[in-house]
């Protein structure tokens, strides 16, 4: 790999005696990793029952693992079941460090393609709200797919500028993640194409953008709320200097030291931040700073650890619905949905009922809004809440998203195939599949939730002789 001389000179000044060890690390191959979905399973089940790969734990997060480059993890049915996300190991750190709790209102400001948002959403366990934003509409579409693949129901996916979001929300969020656009120096080993981009637009180009984004983020953070700023660059002007600028311009913000883990370096100028270097850890370069907006009320001592272990956590019920709101209004469109379609027949097959006051019908699409969603938010949405399905000529067809948000036990008619069953891949390719004689004896005509080893994949409609494939075309196995 040919690294730019200007970049190498900067790293010599930055690293001093560590420079040679850092440079040697570029002779090694980058590390691949995956992070299992804590909203669907836990570490014990993943390691002892589910994982089809040889695994080695990533030390800074409770659900991350190294995998071999020959694992072909994107070609396994469990990937299509949303059981894991493929992610470079050091990139797992920001969402692991931000202490998100169920019920929080969380913003991922620069979220695409969704590696960090999927982890934040899983931490919420179906409670509270996750607003995932990316200014690029095309990138936001990939973000939406990954969130829906993970079965996260309480989302709003937007494509707005940070300034527009700030003008709508004000100080609303409990937790904010800013994984800022940067010069990408820490990813040169993983993606050498970034070198050309760095030569065209280096650290001095990105630093003003990062500061503008941070200013908007701070204005959307509640007093007492926490903000995690991260980059995948080594440049001090994008890292410590940007944090120093923020502390000077926003006196209500303060740094929160993060408990380090093996291989972690602190910041330059003794700043209590986290730096990850490829010669110190098995991963690429990253920078993390955890900050809190000061509250006038006395502060309660908080724990700050790299990650909460999912071993003892129970999985959130992705489709769980609170009790019907007595004061909530039911729209005329929702009443029409109930009377002029077979939505209620499909809902009768689900083990719980949807709060009608949280349902919204627009252009034939039926959405289930997060409990704290406010319709006055005038934003460019790609998704508001959970897409339940679509009305087609007085017929309701449930969505791929709601299939992923359910558990198999929450639908009355299911077919769980094994990962080794050849019908599993055929289903994922969009083909018609057929029941065995034993299966045919128990199914009735109508909707069936198809899964793999107990985890949903999507819908089919049983005709009496076969399962008519309803797997979403845009997600099919290629």
Q: Quick one: which of 113, 110, 99 has its CA closest to 62? A: 99
Q: How far is it, in rounded angstroms, from Cα 95 to Cα 98?
A: 5
Residue 421 counted as an annotated binding residue: no
Secondary structure class of 193 (helix, strand, coil): coil
Q: How far is it, in rounded angstroms, from Cα 100 to Cα 227?
A: 10
Give how far Cα 107 sits from Cα of 84, 114, 153, 155, 313, Å: 22, 12, 15, 10, 23
Torsions phi, psi for 461 (to 5 deg)? -120, 120
Give the chain's length: 478
Residue 376 Cα to chain centre, angstroms:
25
Residue 134 counted as an annotated binding residue: yes
Handedness of CA 51, 39, 131, 300 (dihedral sign): negative
Q: How far is it, in rounded angstroms, from Cα 426 to Cα 255?
A: 52
Give how far Cα 465 sits from Cα of 37, 76, 429, 448, 461, Å: 35, 28, 20, 13, 10
Q: How far is it, in rounded angstroms, from Cα 57 to Cα 407?
A: 27
Residue 451 counted as an annotated binding residue: no
Residue 175 counted as an annotated binding residue: no
Residue 110 counted as an annotated binding residue: yes
Residue 112 counted as an annotated binding residue: yes
Helix H or strand E segment including 367 = strand 365-368
Residue 391 counted as an annotated binding residue: no
Q: Which of 232, 265, 372, 391 is catalytic?
A: 232
Q: Quick one: which of 126, 132, 135, 128 has its CA closest to 145? A: 132
Buried-state track 42-53, b at ≥16 Cβ within 10 A, e below 16: bbeebeeebbeb
**315 belongs to the catalytic site:** no
Neighbours of 40 (CB within 10 A): 25
Residue 111 counted as an annotated binding residue: yes
Which residues does 428 contact at the CB level (< 8 Å), separation at least 6? 77, 80, 457, 471, 476, 477
Residue 62 counted as an annotated binding residue: no
Active-site residue set: 232
Per the annotation, binding residues are 110-116, 134, 179
Binding-site annotation: residue ranges for S-adenosyl-L-methionine: 110-116, 134, 179
């Amino acid at each position: 790999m040919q690294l730019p001389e200007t970049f190498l000179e900067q790293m010599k000044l930055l690293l001093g005696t560590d420079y040679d060890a850092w440079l040697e690390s570029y002779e090694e191959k980058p590390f691949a990793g995956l992070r299992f979905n804590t909203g669907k399973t836990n570490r014990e089940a993943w390691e002892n029952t589910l994982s089809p790969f040889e695994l080695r734990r990533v030390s800074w997060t409770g659900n991350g693992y190294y995998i071999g480059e020959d694992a072909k993890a994107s070609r396994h049915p469990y990937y299509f079941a949303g059981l894991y996300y493929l992610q470079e190991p050091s990139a797992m750190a920001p969402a692991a460090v931000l202490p998100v709790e169920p019920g929080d209102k969380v913003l991922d400001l620069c979220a695409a393609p969704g590696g960090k948002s999927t982890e934040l959403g899983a931490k919420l366990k179906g409670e509270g709200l996750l607003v995932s934003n990316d200014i690029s509409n095309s990138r936001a579409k990939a973000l939406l797919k990954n969130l829906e693949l993970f079965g996260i129901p309480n989302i709003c996916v937007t494509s707005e500028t940070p300034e527009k979001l700030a003008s709508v929300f004000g100080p609303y969020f409990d937790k904010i993640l800013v994984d800022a656009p940067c010069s990408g120096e820490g990813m040169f080993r993983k993606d050498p194409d970034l070198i050309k981009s760095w030569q065209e637009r280096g650290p001095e180009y990105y630093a003003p953008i990062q500061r503008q984004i941070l200013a908007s983020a701070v204005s959307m953070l509640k007093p007492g709320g926490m903000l995690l700023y991260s980059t995948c660059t080594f440049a001090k002007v994008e890292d410590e200097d940007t944090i120093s600028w923020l502390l000077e311009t926003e006196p209500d913000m303060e740094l929160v030291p993060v408990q380090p883990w093996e291989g972690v370096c602190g910041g330059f100028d003794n700043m209590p931040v986290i730096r990850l270097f490829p010669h110190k850890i098995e991963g690429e370069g990253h920078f993390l700073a955890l900050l809190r907006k000061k509250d006038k009320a006395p502060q309660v001592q908080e724990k700050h650890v790299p990650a909460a272990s999912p071993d003892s956590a129970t999985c959130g019920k992705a489709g769980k619905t609170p009790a019907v709101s007595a004061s909530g209004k039911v729209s005329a469109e929702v009443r029409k949905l109930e009377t002029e379609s077979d939505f209620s027949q499909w809902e009768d097959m689900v083990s719980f009922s949807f709060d009608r006051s949280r349902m919204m019908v627009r252009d034939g699409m039926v959405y289930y809004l997060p409990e704290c969603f406010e319709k006055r938010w005038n934003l460019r949405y790609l998704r508001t809440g959970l897409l339940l399905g679509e009305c087609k000529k007085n017929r309701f067809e449930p969505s791929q998203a709601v299939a992923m948000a359910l558990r198999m036990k929450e639908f009355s008619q299911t077919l769980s195939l094994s990962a080794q069953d050849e019908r599993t891949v055929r289903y994922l390719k969009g083909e018609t599949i057929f029941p065995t004689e034993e299966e045919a004896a128990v199914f009735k005509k109508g909707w069936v939730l198809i899964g793999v080893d107990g985890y949903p994949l999507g819908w089919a409609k049983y005709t009496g002789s076969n399962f008519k494939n309803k797997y979403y075309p845009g997600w099919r196995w290629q």
